[in-house]
Amino acid sequence: FPAKAQFLFQPAPYKIMHGGRGSSKSWDFVRALLAIGSTVKLFILCTREVQNSIDESVYKLIVDQISVMGLDDFYVPYNTEIVGKNGTRFVFAGLKNQSRKIKSYEAVDICAVFEANNIADPVWETLEPTIRRDPPFGPFGQGSEIWIEFNPELATDATYKRYVLDPPPGAVVVEMNYDDNPWFPEILKRQMERMREKDYDNYLTNLKP
C-alpha cells in the first residue's frame, strides 16, 4: 500500500481520499477492504452514484484484486455479491437510483463510496443515517465507517465541500495524486505528458498534484 493509504487500517468514522487520476485510490480501497474483511467478519456495502447493473459497480475490480492478492481460496464471487469464508459479504448498490435497497440493508460495517465527486447533498443526507452501527461492531470494533474516494472537479461540488472543506468530526481526509502512487504505470506517465502539452487545463484538473 502507498504510505498515504495506511490510514485505511486505522479506525475513523469517515475516511476520505481525493485527488487526481492514477493515484490508486480505488485500488487502495478495494485491497484494504479485502484485507480487513479476511481478518474479521464484515458486511461491506460498495456504492457509487448510479448503478443500473452489477457491471457498473466495482465488482470486477474486487474480483480481479482477489486473484492478485492470492485470496481465491477465501473469497467466493457470486452473481451479485462476494462472500468470504468467515462470513464477510460485499454487496453493491447505486446511491441515487437504489436508495430503498440501501435503506433495507441492516448492520453495514463499512460503506465504501466510489467515484463520489458528483453526489449531491440530499443523497448524502439519506445515506449517512443509514450507515450507523455502534461499537463493538465495525471493522475495528468502534462502529461503522463510511469510506469515500473521488476525483474533485469543482470546489463548489457538494462532496468536496462536505468532506474536504468542512469534514465531519473524526474524519480523516487524505489527498492522493499520481506522485503518491509508487506503481503509477509508465503508459499513464506518457499520457500525462501528452495531456500537459495538448490540454494543460485538463491536465491540471485530472492529474497535477
Task: Tell whether omega for the bond before 136 is within 30 degrees of 0, i.e. cis.
Answer: yes
What pLDDT score was predicted for residue 153? 82
Q: What is the three-class DSSP state of 152?
A: coil
pLDDT at res. 200: 54
Q: How far apart are CA 176 and CA 134, in angstroms?
A: 29
| E-state strands within the chain | 14-18, 43-48, 75-77, 82-84, 89-94, 110-113, 145-150, 172-175
pLDDT of residue 46: 95
> How distant, in Å, are the alpha carbons of 112, 185, 197 from that of 190?
31, 9, 11
User: Which long-range CB contacts under 8 A does 6-10 form with residues at least 24 apart?
Assistant: 7/172, 7/174, 8/32, 8/147, 9/35, 9/36, 10/140, 10/172
Which residues, given as ranges, of the chain have pLDDT below 50?
207-209
pTM: 0.85
Give the pLDDT of residue 37. 98
